[in-house]
Amino acid sequence: MRTQVGIIGAGPAGLLLAQLLHQQGIESVIIERQSRAHVEARIRAGVLEQGTVKLLRAAGVHERMDREGLIHEGISLAFADRQERIDLHKLTGGSTVMVYGQTEVTRDLIQARLDAGGVIEFEAPALAVEDYVGGSASPTRIIYEKAGKPQALLCDFVAGCDGYHGIARTSMGADKLSLFEKIYPFGWLGILSDTPPVDEELIYANHVRGFALCSMRSPTRSRYYVQCSLDERVEKWSDDAFWDELRRRLPPATAEKLVTGPRLEMSIAPLRSFVAEPMRAGNLFLAGDAAHIVPPTGAKGLNLAAADVFYLSRALIAYYGEKRTDLLDRYSATCLRRVWKAIRFSWWLTTLMHKFDDEPISYRLQLAELDYLTGSAAGSTTLAENYVGLPFEPFE
């Protein structure tokens, strides 16, 4: 099989890239190791920055998002039995975020891809990327398996959108990459339930017992998290135990409003910061979790992947439309500037909101900073600007 751009991974990054390229008449094929049902059922975060929303609209996959997504103009920080609102809209000159689950984004993109006649090879694990170094006499190839048999996809360029454990970054070779990683000493225990959210906007809670987050997927479906140790096991937690612990970490007035119910899903997510540099080697480009991972505290994972796709799609469109290579050459450096700013913000917010040790001074220092942030226009604005998403750099 031959195509112009081979894409590994049918997550939001790979699917969005394929859709944007399709709009410009550029062919692509997506190779995905899991089944369609598995991909469409994965539970992921769902806070979209304004730039991501605009990009999905530009890709023509916005109908259901605009109908069902929840526009949020603020978030709340809860600490010391207080709940203080950060007015994102006012502090950023009109910017907002949208709550629309990554699961739904993925479903919309898959449907758009199939409706356009695009090729997604599900249940086809990629095994290697070969001959991706520029100037090779052989075409770049993705070696993958389909129905137990090895296959090859020949292409001009490969977009590795296959996540942290994918083959794209591994194929680059350790000698071509610098890796940066921080593992956090805790995880998030999360529950999904068909219950109305405790608040109209997200609540980030700092408590002496640990962090908590009150989020939602819709007006009738809630997503809640509590900080837990890395050795916790889901099977040890009953629904009642989770709800009791969540109540303890919220201000009393908020806890009283909490509506509980049986879980639809419960899981534990570890937290890490990770960056691979550079994000390009020859004709192989990394995007999304294949190149970087952020703690979910700042809601940056999907949004960083969308930003990568913004830059990569424009670079490929410039190449096929005008034979320009300058944007391809600038792709990695441009993406990484944004990546490191998001890594910094997510690290800072994680450090501010979570319990790292039992020293009373650590908790008091967190409370002092939260008191400053919520009482200072400058402090609140810095948080708001980063939360709604930094603007894309000019890339033409």
CATH number of the structural domain spanning residue 336: 3.50.50.60
Non-local (6+) Cβ contacts of 195 within 8 A are: 220, 221, 222, 259, 260, 261
Q: Say how far apart CA 380 and CA 366 lie, in whole Å.
A: 15
132 and 170 share one domain: yes
pLDDT per residue as tens, the chain (396 positions): 999 999 999 999 999 999 999 999 999 999 999 999 999 988 777 899 999 999 999 999 999 999 999 999 999 999 999 999 999 999 999 999 999 989 999 999 999 999 999 999 999 999 999 999 866 667 899 999 999 999 999 999 999 999 999 999 999 988 889 999 999 999 999 999 999 999 999 999 999 999 999 999 999 999 999 999 999 999 999 999 999 999 999 999 999 999 999 999 999 999 999 999 999 999 999 999 999 999 999 999 999 999 999 999 999 999 999 999 999 999 999 999 999 999 999 999 999 999 999 999 999 999 999 999 999 999 999 999 999 999 998 888
The domain total for the chain is 2
Q: What's the distance, Cα to Cα, between the start and end of the chain in Å? A: 31
What are the residues facing 74 on neighbouring strands?
A: 87
Q: What is the DSSP code (8-state) at residue 4?
A: S
Q: Say how far apart CA 342 and CA 299 lie, in whole Å.
A: 9
Q: Is the dihedral of CA 334, 338, 339, 341 positive or negative?
A: positive
21 and 148 share one domain: yes
State the catalytic residues: 72, 204, 296, 300, 387
Q: Which two tokens stand for residue 263?
A: 């879980």
Q: Say how far apart CA 27 and CA 20 lie, in whole Å.
A: 10
Q: Which is nearest to 71 in space by CA: 101, 48, 105, 104?
A: 48
106 and 236 share one domain: no
Range of the domain at 258: 184-271+359-384
230 and 154 share one domain: no
The answer to whether 304 touches 386, Cβ cutoff 8 Å, is no
Q: How many CA atoms lie within 13 Å of 23's alpha carbon, on the beta-carbon side?
A: 16
Contacts 24+ apart (CB under 8 A), 378-385: 380/86, 380/87, 380/91, 381/91, 381/92, 383/86, 383/349, 384/86, 384/87, 384/88, 384/91, 384/92, 384/95, 385/91, 385/92
| CATH number for 373 | 3.30.9.10
